[in-house]
């Protein structure tokens, strides 16, 4: 049973450490906000058929709302405006969520690339620790090298 307790403590510490991570940085948020409007172009919307249909519906209800403003609408202009706003909000929110996901994945990929460049290793001259240790970049290690962990 002592191993189970230690395992639970490790999981608790790992969970507490992950609470300090920020899911979305202000920079990612700003880029995602800008990109959510940039992705309103039909070339981008076409890639997601469901959101493309919502985008088309947003365009059509916008036209119907403008028509209702001039008194030729089949429904009150306020109702059509409410539907139009909800549809545009849906499209913008979907674009924003997609841009947030892209920003987070790019940041994670950049962090992994930086870690690959910045990690150093203690390369041993042989299998015996007493023969000497040389600090080298991890990218300089080759198959068959012995290093200290």
Q: What average pLDDT does range 112-135 have in this prediction?
A: 78
Whether residue 77 is found in the same domain as residue 127: no
- Assigned domain for 134 exists: yes
Quick one: pLDDT at residue 116?
Answer: 66
Domain count, the chain: 2
Domain extent at residue 88: 24-118
110/80 same-domain check? yes
Whether 47 maps to a domain, the answer reads yes
Any domain includes 18? no
What is the average pLDDT across 91-111? Answer: 91
pTM above 0.85, yes or no: no
Q: What is the tens place of the pLDDT at every residue in 7-17? A: 444 444 444 44
pLDDT, averaged across the chain: 83
Same domain, 34 and 106: yes
Cα 8 to Cα 14: distance, rounded to the nearest angstrom:
10
pLDDT, tens digit (0-9, with 9 covering 90-100), for 40-83: 999 999 999 999 999 999 999 999 999 999 988 889 999 999 99
Residues 48 and 85 in one domain: yes
3-state secondary structure of 39: coil
15-36: string of b/e by CB count within 10 Å (b at 16+)? Answer: eeeeeeeeeeeeebeebbeebb
Does 135 lie in the same domain as 109?
Answer: no
In a domain, 15, yes or no: no
In a domain, 59, yes or no: yes
Residue 142 lies inside a defined structural domain of this protein: yes
CA distance 131 to 140: 20
64 and 104 inside one domain:
yes
Long-range contacts of 61-70 (CB under 8 A, 24+ apart): 61/87, 62/88
CA angle 83, 84, 85 (to 5 degrees): 95
Question: Does a structural domain hold residue 87?
Answer: yes
Euclidean distance between CA atoms 38 and 88, whole angstroms: 14
């Amino acid at each position: 049973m002592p191993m189970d307790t230690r395992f639970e403590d490790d999981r608790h510490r790992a969970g507490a450490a992950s609470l300090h991570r920020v899911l979305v940085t202000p920079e990612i948020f700003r880029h995602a906000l800008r990109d959510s409007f940039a992705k309103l172009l039909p070339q981008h919307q076409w890639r997601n058929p469901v959101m493309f249909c919502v985008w088309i519906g947003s365009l059509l209800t916008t036209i119907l709302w403008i028509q209702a403003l001039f008194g030729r609408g089949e429904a009150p202009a306020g109702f059509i405006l409410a539907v139009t706003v909800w549809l545009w909000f849906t499209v913008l929110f979907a674009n924003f969520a997609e841009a947030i996901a892209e920003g987070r994945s790019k940041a994670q990929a950049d962090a992994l690339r930086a870690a690959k460049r910045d990690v150093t290793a203690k390369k041993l001259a042989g299998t015996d620790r007493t023969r000497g240790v040389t600090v080298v970049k991890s990218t300089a290690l080759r198959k068959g090298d012995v290093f200290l962990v």
